Structure 1
Amino acid sequence: MHQPAEKPSTDRRSFLKNGATVGAAASVAMTLPGRADAATGANERLRIGFIGPGGRGFGAHVKTLCDLHKEGRKIDLVGVAEVYETQRDMVADYIKDKTGTDPGRYVDYNDMIAKENLDAVCIGTPDHWHHKQIIDSLAAGLNVYCEKPMTKTVEEAFNVENKWRASGKVMQVGVQSTSLPVWNEIRALLQDGKLGKVLGFQTEYFRNSNVGQWRYYKLVDDMNPKKIDWQRWLGTNEELAPEMPFDRAVYKQWRRFWPFGSGMFTDLFVHRTTSMLKATGLRIPGRVVGAGGIFMEYDGRDVPDVATVAADFNEGVQGLITATMCNQESRVNQLIRGHYGTFELGNGEGFDGFDFVPERRQVTSQGDSAKRTFENERISTQPVKNTTKAHFANFLDACEAGEPELCNNPPDLGAAAMAVVNLGAQSYRNGEVYFVDSDNRGISTKDPGWAKKWEAKSKARELPNHIAGWKAGDFGSTLDEPEYMKLAGPWTDGQDPAGS
């Protein structure tokens, strides 16, 4: 086994090991018990190891960090842990060629953590390994970049969030679009009442393929039990997946099968859902239901090719995430709706702006709305050419500063997104509606009276709930009371309540 010739002292990375208090995050209120001290020495460098750098882990994690190294970031890529021998050597050789460092090569990521004196790891394994590898890395005092989805299940996601808060370490979840500035800009406008009462978001992730989703990952002869540690990949000793015979399709196209992920729910829906949660400030849903089916891609897969998730939030907002994997030229627009208007964002991540579409003037003329302009408007935003690179740069910035709250996609946001998409997947599979207690994170299929809660608010003529950070008072959140409504009310003993 290759080992680096020289190891830095443990004092070299003390800036990432010591705890200190930290304030609330800018994107959402959160309490972290500690933070890592920022680097003080001019020659401090982050030592980074890679866990499972397969397709995304190599193409995005390794190559992006090699580019950032070339541009002068103070990082060294020192270890590769990968169960597929051919992939492991290819990644390590690439790092050596691009950075001059010959990284240690490992099958077991625990050996890499024990021997390489790391400051951070990048996790690119299949979903079913994420939870254990994150927990092990945080316990070792490491900062973590983990590819989306953060975990395989929502219960695991809540546990990661708790462990991360207790650790004081930096952690970034790899939804790269969260590094677009547009989401913070939209959230500020929503909190200021630009749309009035926020009612819902709608988003998507459509695709199409003549071979079926994820079957475009090619199988080659070299993928075989002599080259791949199949038991370690499955995680049977850790009870992460059931025992099964080696299968190249399962290994390379694992997103098609439930033991390892949740198909489009967690591979694709999590992208757009995370962005919408960041834009609105919403986090844990109160009620989630999923629908769909395998309507065309009969290729041996488990996961659906058409799916929809509806998530209701206690803030009085509904999220709709919908798509098919068999059609992509008639996509649903991404948008956020309010009582006074809508933000329309189109599709994808290449935003240079978004549109404000107001409701008709008969609606927007309430209260002090005359002080505002309700005309169609194009609102500009700064596009980001390479969101993956921006996302990794943000992670490095947070590590170097020792400030977990600087990350654009921390675990509290990652856990919230998982609560939406994973419960949507479970609902689809089990035919159940899921309810979440946002205080204790309890998950149940027993209805706590969701509809009755909103009916009671209506009967009591209460004011609506609002997103976190709402600053607009009652603006765009109340109804006019027509004069004729004085005639409303139940008749008692034949008497007109209006006195007519």
Structure 2
Amino acid sequence: MKQKSSRRNFIRKAALSSAAITSAPFILSASKNENILMQRAYETNVFSPNDQINLALIGTGIQGIFDTQAALTVDGIQLVAACDLYTGRLERAKELWGEDTFTTRDYREILNRKDIDAVIIATPDHWHKKIVIDSLKAGKHVYCEKPMVQQWQEGQDIISAQKASGKICQIGSQGMSSLGNEKAKQLYKEGAIGDIVMLDFYNDRYSAEGAWQYPIPPDAGKKTVDFDTFLGSAPKVPYEDKRFFRWRNYKDYGTGVAGDLFVHAFSTLNHIIDSHGPNRAMATGGLRYWKDGRDVPDVSITLYDYPKTETHAAFNAAFRINFIAGSGGGSGFKLVGTEGEMEIGQNSVSLRRSKLGLVPGGYSMISFPEAMQKKIKNGYAQQNIETRTSALETGSTKWQAPKDYKGGHHDHFYNFFTAIRENGKVIQDPTFGLRAAGAALLANESYYKNKPINWNPTEMKIG
């Protein structure tokens, strides 16, 4: 595999010097800790009013606001319109972005405007497919929040619509374009961890807000909320505040922890190792604590199988979410290989390479007479299994983003808007988005059907 020669390349570079122009660290021993500053260079541009990209937000909720704030940190971008089905959020849009901001409850009014170049779609998941396709057909560039689709079967329609439109469509897993992902991808290609054998991902939370019990405004009701439009293609039910303001808790509108959190990990994983995704999933879990009417689990564990490809060995991935973690919370994303491990975040990458124990110690030798122990030790010594070179390649190194780093969210929008201006490519197009979303949604398929689910990562379909 390609990873074999890459690993030799990494070891060769690591043995040269710490000044070598490579990401490979020069690590003398396991006791040495090296910290390296990563860098990101941005082009400095001044755009005239005529060169501005006019942006509109469809779905002015929590993530929509965070997305827009990140988008506006990119030069040459201005927000001109916002849409939401709750009047209070339209008021909030004017507070944030000015009284001149056009607001509406009907996203089609935004798509009909000729002065809007691009839209952010941050609606509940069950609306993604329709609004993305409508936006592309209307000639708008699209930034769609993850997961791209609520059901994997919807993905091909978005892929076809994007190709037919010729417009840019970026899927919004906001850490994708980060310095951390970029460095981890480089390290992996250079063979820093050898062959991957496992991914360990977890996200622990310990708060009502973290478990999606979002606040409900006192004025919520049929006059301020367009509940019938919110339901869309979902089953018709009577008005209920919680279904609108806490929609993530219901599988009719959201995708549970898999679509909200797993999909980020799949985006990063598939990007770093150049993979199309897993081919099998088996999920378990349950609703353990937040029994507030929701019908999605608050504890979820899913195991995935990745097949061998040109870019990676066959390996397993463990995804774990706990919304009632008595430890207080925390998260992690770790790639474990045959020769090292990487812990990856948007702002940092920590690499640790350890010495593999190949010579038996006292534990397994204790059952032999002392004379036999000496013979066994001599036999291993003559084989020269443990070399000085292997010991010099161990240790830990951390790459850290600088203090003035603008962040992965900024970088993802920078990638999106640069692609619009230069008719270029985005890092997370609809095909990539479907592979990440499809893999995540396998957890739901397995959980609700109570059986393992097979997935074709190349054709992006179950079976």
TM-score (norm 2): 0.76
Partner of 2:19: none
Q: Distance in 1 between matches of 2:209 and 2:185?
A: 39
Partner of 2:445: 426
Partner of 1:78: 80
Partner of 2:301: 308
Unaligned segments of structure 2, at least 5 residues: 1-46, 309-313, 360-383
Residue from 411, 415, 420 that aligns with 1:399: 420
Partner of 1:117: 115
| C-alpha distance 343-257 of structure 1, shift in aligned 2 (>3 A) | same
Partner of 2:238: 245
Partner of 1:340: 339
What is the CA distance between 1:67 and its match in structure 2?
4.6
SS at 2:216 equivalent: coil
| C-alpha distance 331-75 of structure 1, shift in aligned 2 (>3 A) | closer
Residue from 47, 61, 80 that aligns with 1:54: 61
Is 1:50–1:122's contact at 8 Å kept on the other side of the alignment?
A: yes
Matches within 5 A, 1:226-375: 226-235=223-232, 240-315=233-308, 316-327=314-325, 328-329=327-328, 331=330, 333-345=332-344, 349-351=346-348, 353-360=349-356, 362=358, 374-375=393-394
Q: Distance in 1 between matches of 2:385 and 2:254?
A: 48
Question: Relative contact order: is structure 1 or structure 2 higher (C-alpha 8 Å, sep ≥ 6)?
Answer: 2
SS at 1:118 equivalent: coil
Partner of 1:460: none
What is the CA distance between 1:372 and its match in structure 2?
9.7
Give the alignment's Cα RMSD to 1 decimal: 2.8
Partner of 2:216: 219
Query: Residue deviations 1:68-108, cap 9 Å, x none?
Result: 4xxxx2233222222222212321343225xxxx2322221
SS at 1:266 equivalent: helix
Unaligned segments of structure 1, at least 5 residues: 1-39, 445-500
Is 1:184–1:278's contact at 8 Å kept on the other side of the alignment?
A: no
Moved more, 102-111 or 331-340: 331-340
2:69 maps to amino acid: K
Q: Distance in 1 between matches of 2:386 and 2:90?
A: 64
Q: Distance in 1 between matches of 2:90 and 2:296?
A: 29
Is 1:205–1:272's contact at 8 Å kept on the other side of the alignment?
A: no
Identity %: 26
What is the CA distance between 1:402 and its match in structure 2?
1.7
| C-alpha distance 105-318 of structure 1, shift in aligned 2 (>3 A) | same
Partner of 1:436: 455
Query: Residue deviations 1:246-275, cap 9 Å, x none?
Result: 111111011111101122111122223322
Q: Distance in 1 between matches of 2:253 and 2:278?
A: 24
1:53 maps to amino acid: T
Partner of 1:183: 181
1:323 maps to amino acid: I
Query: Residue deviations 1:366-425, cap 9 Å, x none?
Result: 89995995211214243545332332223222222221x2x3333233212212211111
Q: Distance in 2 between matches of 1:366 and 1:170?
A: 54
Query: Residue deviations 1:161-198, cap 9 Å, x none?
Result: 34334443222222221121222322232233222222
1:186 maps to amino acid: A
Matches within 5 A, 1:88-107: 88-96=90-98, 102-107=100-105
| C-alpha distance 154-110 of structure 1, shift in aligned 2 (>3 A) | same
Is 1:66–1:95's contact at 8 Å kept on the other side of the alignment?
A: no
- Residue 198, structure 1, aligned to residue 188, structure 2: no
1:334 maps to amino acid: F
Matches within 5 A, 1:460-475: none
